[in-house]
Structure 1
Amino acid sequence: MKIREAWEAGFNASRVTVAVVDDGVDVGHVDLRSAFSPHVSFDFVRFGTLPLPKKSKDTQHGTQCAGLVAMEGNQCGLGVGHGATLGAIRLLGQEHLNDALEGDALAFQKNLIDIYSVSWGPKDDGVTAEKPAKFTEEAIRNGAIYGRNGLGNIFVWASGNGGANGDNCALDGYVNNEYTVS
């Protein structure tokens, strides 16, 4: 991806706001705390402003994803988008995730967030091809067209975890949505 070459040429993400939509982010982590912005963060599980994950080995996914993007090299390494403003949108970790909550999370602060980084979706079992429901689809479409005051939001969706199950990376209605990047 020529990341090192981009860094050496002086590029960084200092004018980019990335929101990680996941199970929360440890916003006090030494490599994330100065990138974190509460203005582009929200907890849709507890409906609060500090989107911290539950403390368990199974709920650090959002922190790991945020690190890949915005780590500042203090302890664990340098994120590909170091210098970015980091938002954390906690959506996962509740018993009942529904279309309205997904839609609200993916529309949250759409004029302030440049990129929504999303690393979840339907089962990666080679059979399930669930697509976004009405409110989620509408939030993605409207964000891509009208977000950032008409410049459009970028929705980056992870794919590929189901390779061991014979899953095709494109067999996912979120990943192959015309308004997302996989």
Structure 2
Amino acid sequence: MVDGTNERGWQPLITDPERRDAIAAVVVDIVTQTAAWRRDHAAPNEHEADYATLRIYVATDDTVPDPDDEAGQALAAAVTGIVDRSGPALYGGAARVAFAVGHLSAGEDADLACEMIERSLLRFVEQPGDGYDLISGYVGIAVPVLQRIADGKPSPSSQPLARSILDHLERL
């Protein structure tokens, strides 16, 4: 909840210092309670990518520091647990993990994880199907691959996957 960022055109929504402090306190409470709940309950792998996203966002400006790298651990658990996911969907599936990895991390490990997930998604997309929506269909599967292409970090599977998705969408 800092005043500046490296994003061009970014401006804070809440400029009153007292309101910002009050909102920051609520955010800290949410993160603290979520972390406590996770310690007391075995979180299913489907929530790891979301927890990683939460922790990275609030640690970026030290609203809630992450000295133990809970965000990194959750992201690693999301990648490891991808075999337990029920499908490719952006909502709770392999595409969700690909989006989180591509959005929250960088480097060779992230590139390798995204490449492996994209290859898996490409195998799925090569099968006939008719789901086109953002939540569980082809449009949602396209989100992480288009993100990587737009960010200039496509894998060898990115363009074939994007083309295959577009082919499916054209047929629908």
TM-score with structure 2 length normalisation?
A: 0.33
- Select the structure that is richer in helix: 2
TM-score with structure 1 length normalisation?
A: 0.32
Greater relative CO (CA pairs within 8 A, separation 6+): 1
